[in-house]
Amino acid sequence: MNLNGLWDYAIQPKKGFPDRYDGQILVPFSPEAILSGVERQLQPGEYLWYRRLLPVDEMDLFNGSRLILHFGAIDYEADIFLNGNKVTSHRGGYLPIDCDITDFLEIGENELTVRVSDPSDAGFQSRGKQILKRGGIFYTAQSGIWQTVWMEWIPATHIEHITIEPDFDRQEVFIEVDTALCDALPMLRICVMTPDAKQVLFRQSLTPKSNLADVHRHHAQSQSYDFTISIPDELFFPWTPEAPALYPVTVTLGRDEVKTYFALRTYTIELSEDKPVFCLNHKPCFLMGVLDQGYWSDGLMTAPSDEALLYDITTMKKLGFNMMRKHLKVESARWYYHCDRLGMIVCQDMINGGGQYRMPFINYLPTVCPSLARHISDQAYHLFAREDEDARDEWEEELADMIDYLKFFPSIAIWCPFNEGWGQFDSVRIAESIRAQDPTRLIDAASGWFDQGAGDFISVHNYFRRLKVAAGEWKKHKKSRAFFLSEYGGFACHIDGHSSVERIFGYKRYETKEEFSKAYDTLIKEALLPLREQGLSGAVYTQVSDIEEEVNGILTYDRKVVKLQLPETLKESRSKEESSESQPSE
C-alpha cells in the first residue's frame, strides 16, 4: 500500500509531540520543496513532525502476517512512532528505513507519527550539496521524508532476502534465498528465464530439511537455500548499453513471491595498446558520461514522478551518453532499475559529510595547482574538515550500507567515495574496504584531486585548463590505473523564463542554445575525442540539468528546454564504439 499523499505536519522548537499541527504536507516532498505545499526551511534545532492514520483489518492482524513499513529515505534523524510508542530510530538521510510495526498495531485506526531533525550544513553528517544559505555550486537544504513511503503485509513464512552473484567469466550465477519459516514444510520454488522471457533457464522446487511442525507461528526459524546455475553459450547474453539483457527471476515460498533479475557483465581495467582502459565484458568501452545531481525545480531531490526519472535517462541516452555519474546522492531505487533495463552505466558517488569546508584549500588551491594537491595527505583531518571521529565512523557505516543496498543493480560500474576532497579521509584504507565488500566493481577513490594513489582511476576535474591525459602518472602505478576525466565542461547558458533565480553560475557563458551546442560540439571534437587515442578511459560532462543558480545544464531546471542539439561528433563516437571489435592486449 502506497502511503504517499497528504499527511499532517508541524514544525516546532520542542521535541515532544505537537499540541496541534500546522497543516498538511504532500509526502514524499520535503517541506522546502514547492510540491510539498509548505515551502518552509527546517532550521537546526527545530523538529518536523508528520502524522497520518493507518487502517488495520482484524483478519490481517490475527492471521500471522507481519506489517512492514518502508521509508525510501528521511533526512536526517528520524524517530518513528505508532500509537504513541516508539518503533525505531534512524540516522542518515539517504538510505531506506524498514521496520516491523505489527506488535504496535491496534484493530481499526492506528496513528503513525514521525519526528525529524536535520542540522543541514551546521552538522557533520552526510549531506551532499545541501546548504542553509544556497549559492553557486551548493543548493537549498532539505529535510524530512523525501522518498516514497509504503507498507506491506507479509506472511509469517516469507522470503527475507535474495542474494544474486553473477560470474561473467565462469558463465555462472549464484543465488541464495534467505527465508523465515513458520509453517511445517513450505515449498520453495525458483524459476530463471532468458532475457526475452520465452525460455526457462533454470527451475527447481525444494522443501526445507528441518522439521518445523512444532515451531510457534510467531517465532520464525531461518532457512537458506542456495543455487549455482550454469549458463550455456547459446543462452549467454552479456549486458551492454546497446543490449541491456536482464534475466528474470521468480522466487516463491508458500504465499510469498518475489520477482527480481540479474545481468551478466564484468567491469575491469585492462591494457589496450599498452594503455590501461575501462573495459566492459573485457572489451574497451569509452565512458561518455554526464554528471547527474538529481535535482528538480519543484521537488528538489525528489523527482515529481517516475516519468521524470525516466526522462533524464532517456534524454541523455539519445544525446549519446552511455554513463551517468550519480553525484553526491543516492537516488530512488526506480532510477537504478531504469538504468539497468535501458542500458545506462552508473558511477555512484557516496555522499560527502564533515564540518565546514575551507574552500580556498579544498577547491581553489587544487584548481590553480593540481599537482600540489596530489601531494597532500588526506590523513590531515583538520584540512578536510574531518576532525570528528564519530562523524567519520558514521560516514563509513553509511558507505557500507549504501554499497549493500545498491550492489544488486548491475548498471553500477564504479564506486566513488570522495569528491574534490569534501570531507575526504583515509582514502587508501577506504578503497581497500570497498574492494573487500564488493570486488566486482571499480573504484574512483578520490574524484577530482587529492589523489592518494588508491583505486582504479587517475581521476581529474578540469574546467579551466587544456584537456590532456597525464600519461606519466601511469608509470607511477605500473599502468594499473586508467585515466578518467571525472568532471569537465560546465558551459553556462541561461534560458529566459526557465530559471527560478536571478544570479547565475557557470564556467563559460553562452547566450543561445546554438552557441552552447556549437561550443560543446567543438569541445568534444577537438579536445576530448582525440584523447581517447592517448588512453583516456572516460569523461563526465557537467551536467544533466540547471540547478538553482547553476545554469550549466544540458536541460533547463524545469526540464522544458533541451539546450544541446544532438552533435554529430557524439553520434560518430557512439557508432565507432558499437562497431569496434578490438580486444585488450594480454
Average pLDDT, integer, range 266-270? 98
Q: Give the three cell numbers for residue 268.
A: 575491469
Q: Is the pTM above the cut of 0.85?
A: yes
For the chain, what percent of residues have pLDDT higher than 90? 83
CB-CB contact of 379 with 426 (8 Å): yes
CB-CB contact of 529 with 576 (8 Å): no
Q: 487 — phi, psi (to 5°)?
A: -155, 140
Burial class (CB in 10 A: 0-12, 13-18, 19+), 497: exposed
Paired sense of beta strands 442-443 and 412-416, if any: parallel
* CA–CA distances in Å: residue 428 to residues 316, 330, 361, 374: 33, 23, 21, 13
Assign domain 158-262 to its CATH superfamily: Immunoglobulins (2.60.40.10)
At residue 370, the pLDDT reads: 87
Q: Cα dihedral sign for 238, 244, 247, 253?
A: positive
Average pLDDT, integer, range 432-438? 99
Average pLDDT, integer, range 363-371? 89
For 375-431, write each residue's pLDDT tens digit: 899 999 999 999 999 999 999 999 999 999 999 999 999 999 999 999 999 999 999
At residue 572, the pLDDT reads: 56
At residue 263, the pLDDT reads: 99
Q: Give the three cell numbers for residue 81.
A: 512512532
In this predicted structure, which of 86-95, 177-186, 295-304, 362-371 has the lowest mean pLDDT? 177-186
For 503-532, write each residue's pLDDT tens digit: 777 778 999 999 999 999 999 999 999 999
Cα angle 362-364-365, degrees, rounded to a multiple of 5: 75
At residue 360, the pLDDT reads: 93
At residue 581, the pLDDT reads: 41
For the packed helices 333-342 and 306-318, what is the interaxial angle rounded to 10 degrees?
A: 40
For 81-93, write each residue's pLDDT tens digit: 999 999 999 999 9
At residue 211, the pLDDT reads: 42
Q: Specify the higher pLDDT residue, 214 or 178.
A: 178
At residue 505, the pLDDT reads: 74
Given a cut of 50, is residue 216 above it in pLDDT? no
Distance in angstroms (rounded) separating the CA atoms of residues 465 and 449 = 14
Given a cut of 80, is residue 184 above it in pLDDT? no
Assign domain 5-154 to its CATH superfamily: Galactose-binding domain-like (2.60.120.260)
Distance in angstroms (rounded) separating the CA atoms of residues 572 and 525 = 10
Average pLDDT, integer, range 357-386? 93
Distance in angstroms (rounded) separating the CA atoms of residues 186 and 189 = 10
For the chain, what percent of residues have pLDDT higher than 70? 92
For the chain, give the mean pLDDT.
93
Average pLDDT, integer, range 43-50? 98
Distance in angstroms (rounded) separating the CA atoms of residues 38 and 25 = 6
Q: 475 — phi, psi (to 5°)?
A: -65, -35
Q: How many CA atoms lie within 13 A of 46 on its CB side?
A: 16
At residue 586, the pLDDT reads: 37
Q: Cα dihedral sign for 331, 337, 342, 343?
A: positive
At residue 292, the pLDDT reads: 99
At residue 371, the pLDDT reads: 85
Q: How far apart are the first and last CA of the chain?
A: 53
Indicate the domain borders of the chain. 5-154, 158-262, 267-579
For 452-503, write each residue's pLDDT tens digit: 999 999 999 999 999 999 866 766 766 789 999 999 999 999 999 988 777 7
Residues facing 228 on adjacent strands: 174
- pLDDT-derived band at 217, boundaries 50, 70, 90: very low
At residue 186, the pLDDT reads: 81
What number of other Cβ atoms are within 10 A of residue 566's Cβ?
Answer: 13
Distance in angstroms (rounded) separating the CA atoms of residues 13 and 1 = 32
Nearest to 320 by CA among 119, 559, 577, 146: 577
Decide if domain 267-579 falls under CATH 3.40.50.300: no
At residue 499, the pLDDT reads: 80
At residue 182, the pLDDT reads: 80
Q: Specify the higher pLDDT residue, 252 or 475.
A: 252
CB-CB contact of 287 with 302 (8 Å): no
Place of cell 544474486: 164
At residue 585, the pLDDT reads: 37
Nearest to 175 by CA among 254, 250, 98: 250
Given a cut of 80, is residue 247 above it in pLDDT? yes
Q: 326 — phi, psi (to 5°)?
A: -75, 110
Q: Specify the higher pLDDT residue, 364 or 538.
A: 538
Greatest C-alpha distance within the chain: 76
- pLDDT-derived band at 62, boundaries 50, 70, 90: confident
How many residues can be counted in the chain? Answer: 586
State which H helix or E strand residue 442 sits in: strand 442-443
